[in-house]
Amino acid sequence: MEALRTLRALILAGSVACLVLAAPTGAQDLPPNRRPPNQGPKVPDRGATLDTSKLVYVRVESDHYFLRSMNADGSGDAEFWGERIECSSFALSPDGRTLYYSTRDGTYSKTQGSAARKLFDGQAKDIDVSPDASRLVYSRTVVGSGTDIYSANADGTGERRLTDAPRDDLTPCWSADGRTILYSEGANNWLMTMAADGSGKRALSEDVGPTRVRFSQARYSPDGTRIVAKGIQGGSVQIHVMNADGTSPRAITSGAGLYASPRWSPDARRVVAAYQGPGVPAEPWHLIVIPVDGGAVVRLPGTAPFQETQPRWLASSVTVRR
């Protein structure tokens, strides 16, 4: 009798062992919705920095323009700072804590949770903040004199006109060291640079041939070594990357459709832009992320039927402490 009980115990133990050993193979054979959950993503090492970059953009609702933000993958779309801020053009200070924006009745600055402060009357377009956050550069239209580039202190004082040409000058931006301003000369879509005080103007691209690419909406990369810009050649509109001196331009997009407002990611590996695909009727403008050195373009989920324009990266990071 004792021998029989021992035999039964051995058989039971062997069966359990066989089930345990076979479990991994059986789990792989199960349908995906019945497989056991995995262990989740790897926990970052202590001291590692996680990229929590966000995108800030303008959403067009009828004739109103509202500032919104989302995660870099398109999730978490919400009002920027949890407030309904209406603006037609905007920029953020390098630390992301101060917003500069324009509306129909003037140009303002604002920090999160505070009341807006009016800097001056009139709409500043294409606003950009200097790397040390002390100066603004922007384009402004004055009746009778066209659109020119201006600069001012961050508090709106000390406005200075930097260009005065018989053509529109647009989309200025600061270089990484704050010494140079890159902008587009509107009549010919040439890329131009000048010193921060408006002196030393020179063209980076001035080809006038029938096959030339007309560049606009250019931005320096975070390290100042490259430029991203919208390029128009014939009927094709693409996003281009080139050296900071304007040499070696190459398209990083292809195909039909319209592109606008390209902006570098903080690590300069990606560019976010607004895109409108071909078709009749035209689809709403939406945001896309473009790998600079090859790879698939990512279309962000979007908020159709609203138009999405003027994307910017809001860089931030957290350090793991555990």
Cα separation of 254 and 241, whole Å?
13
Buried b (16+ CB within 10 A) or exposed e, 20-46: eeeeeeeeeeeeeeeeeeeeeeeeeee
Q: In the prediction, which pLDDT does 4 show?
A: 40
Within-domain flag for 41:
no
Q: In the prediction, which pLDDT does 145 show?
A: 77
In order, the DSSP letters of 41-93 are SPPPPTT-EEE--EEEEEEEETTEEEEEEEETTS-S-EEGGGS--B-SEEEE-
Torsion of CA 228, 319, 178, 244, to 10 degrees: -30
Instruction: Note the pLDDT tens digit of each residue in 185-210.
Output: 876 678 999 999 999 999 987 665 55
Pairing of strands 258-264, 250-251: unpaired
Please tell me whether residues 27 and 76 are part of one structural domain.
Answer: no
Please tell me whether residues 248 and 176 are part of one structural domain.
Answer: yes
First-last CA distance in the chain: 58
For residues 253 and 259, is the Cβ–Cβ distance under 8 A? yes
Cα separation of 224 and 227, whole Å?
8
Instruction: Note the pLDDT tens digit of each residue in 124-168.
Output: 999 999 999 999 999 999 877 789 999 999 999 999 999 987 789
Within-domain flag for 42:
no
Three-class secondary structure of residue 320 per DSSP: coil
pLDDT classification of 294: cutoffs 50, 70, 90: confident
* Residue numbers of the domain that contains 21: 2-33
Within-domain flag for 38:
no
Please tell me whether residues 128 and 9 are part of one structural domain.
Answer: no
Domain total in the chain = 2
Q: In the prediction, which pLDDT does 304 show?
A: 82
Residue 307 CA, chain-centre distance (Å), reads 16
Within-domain flag for 220:
yes
Instruction: Note the pLDDT tens digit of each residue in 13-41.
Output: 443 333 333 333 333 333 333 333 333 33
Within-domain flag for 40:
no
Instruction: Note the pLDDT tens digit of each residue in 227-271.
Output: 999 999 888 999 999 999 999 999 999 989 999 999 999 999 999
Percentage of the chain beyond pLDDT 70 is: 79
Cα separation of 137 and 117, whole Å?
18
Query: Mean of the per-residue pLDDT values for the chain?
Result: 82
Q: In the prediction, which pLDDT does 222 show?
A: 94
Within-domain flag for 281:
yes
CATH number at residue 278: 2.120.10.30
Within-domain flag for 64:
yes
Instruction: Note the pLDDT tens digit of each residue in 36-89.
Output: 333 333 333 444 444 458 999 999 998 899 999 999 999 999 999 999 999 999
Percentage of the chain beyond pLDDT 90 is: 64
Please tell me whether residues 204 and 314 are part of one structural domain.
Answer: yes
User: Per the structure block, which two tokens stand in for 170?
Assistant: 């647009």
User: Per the structure block, which two tokens stand in for 114?
Assistant: 């505070």
